[in-house]
Amino acid sequence: MTKFRVFFSLEKEESWLNRKLAQGWQLFDITGEGIFYHFKKVTNADKIIQFDYRKFANKNDFAEYLQFMTDAGWEHIYGKYNSGTQYFISNRDQNLELFSDASSLLEREKRIRKGIYGSLSFLVPVYVILFMNSTDLSVLWHPQQEFLTPGLWEKTGNEFWRAFFFELPFALMRILGHLVIPIMLIVIIVIYFNSYRRMQRYQKSVV
């Protein structure tokens, strides 16, 4: 089973994956830059999924980390040495906790923010260079200008709908091209404030 989801919070993602697990569907892979979740049917659903956030300079360090987690009773189900979020699963009767207090959660959040800012420092300039000149917010109130089929809006009946649906995917791609920078900025803002709220909550608990 494959599900499309976009999460701005590790807590919400973790909760969702554990609900799926309780229904007998266990995560085993994530594709499409983290938006397509792939599940397999399992008979033993009495388990729990938890996240860590670690990036490694090389695969040897990653392998040592995985061995340490395995020895501690965790099975690694998804994550790469440079992907950041690492997905682990364990049996509930082991009563394991990756993060048992606010201090450890705060440290994880600091690693998440560092990883996000490191990625953005590279991606933002690239996207700005590639898409800034194509940004045109007028497509939000005049989307019809991106439908380039000659005479489309003069057609009627079935002829119009055939031409419209033929052109629609191309028009949507052109519209999205105009909105890449604004969408990216919105995503950055949402990620930042979600992270800020979590850090504030953890810091209050530590104090």
123-178 pLDDT, tens digit each: 677 777 777 667 777 777 888 888 888 888 888 889 889 888 898 888 888 888 77
Q: Enter the pTM of the model.
A: 0.69
Which pLDDT belongs to residue 38? 93
Average pLDDT over residues 12-20: 92
* Percent residues over pLDDT 70 in the chain: 94
Beta pairing class for 84-91 and 2-4: unpaired
pLDDT band at 70 (very low <50, low <70, confident <90, very high): very high
Residue among 147, 73, 86 at smallest CA distance from 112: 86
